[in-house]
Amino acid sequence: MHTRRAGRVALILVGAAAALGGGCNGPTDDLPRHAVSGTVKLNGEPLKEGMIQFQPTDPGIATAGGTGIADGSYSLSKAEGLSPGKYSVTISSTPAPTAPQGGMPGDPVPPPKEKIPAQYNAKTTLSETVTKEGPNKFDFDLKSK
């Protein structure tokens, strides 16, 4: 009987968490979100893979966002988009990690080497402004030294 009661409690907790969490379909808020998209090039070539992130710099902006870059393109849908305002932009590459030569399975893999200069990520100088009028298409042509 104790097991049956514990099962019911667990079922109630799972249901409550699902109701409060809103599921996995992205944000379910009433913020004025806008789709954001664009391209990223490194030295004139589309960035094969990477990550782009937008962090608000204006006070009162309630959204931040990020997404993957594939074959030089990125896109945030309206449901996952950004509120109007100014954002700091960081772009990083994500090369596939490779195991050290002669290593054993399960050995730690060194972190991938960042191909993009720090002025575009760790010490970013990039910024963009999302507007309600749009289009919020931001293209970046990054240069490595």
Task: Summarize pLDDT for 38-82 with one digit per residue, the tens.
Answer: 999 999 999 999 999 999 998 888 889 999 999 999 999 999 999
pLDDT of residue 30: 83
pLDDT at 22 over 90: no
> Is the backbone of residue 24 left (phi > 0), alpha (psi -120 to 50) or beta?
alpha
Residue 98 near residue 70, CB atoms below 8 Å: no
In order of their start, the domains of the chain are 25-96+113-142 (2.60.40.1120)
Whether 13 shows a pLDDT value over 60: the answer reads: no
pLDDT in tens, 93-107: 975 566 666 667 777
The CA distance from 44 to 110, in Å, is 28
Above 70 in pLDDT, residue 7? no
Query: pTM of the entire structure?
Result: 0.71
Tell me the two tokens of residue 49: 């893979």
Judge whether residue 1 has pLDDT over 80.
Answer: no
| Amino acid 94: pLDDT | 74
Contacts of 1 (CB under 8 A, 6+ apart): none
Residues 6+ apart with CB under 8 A from 131: 34, 84
- Computed on alpha carbons and rounded to an integer, the radius of gyration of the chain in Å comes to 21
Q: Which residue has the higher pLDDT, 27 or 52?
A: 52
For the chain, first and last CA: distance in Å?
70
d(CA 70, CA 76): 13
The answer to whether 79 and 33 have CB atoms below 8 angstroms apart is yes
Top-ranked range on mean pLDDT: pick from 2-16, 43-57, 85-99:
43-57
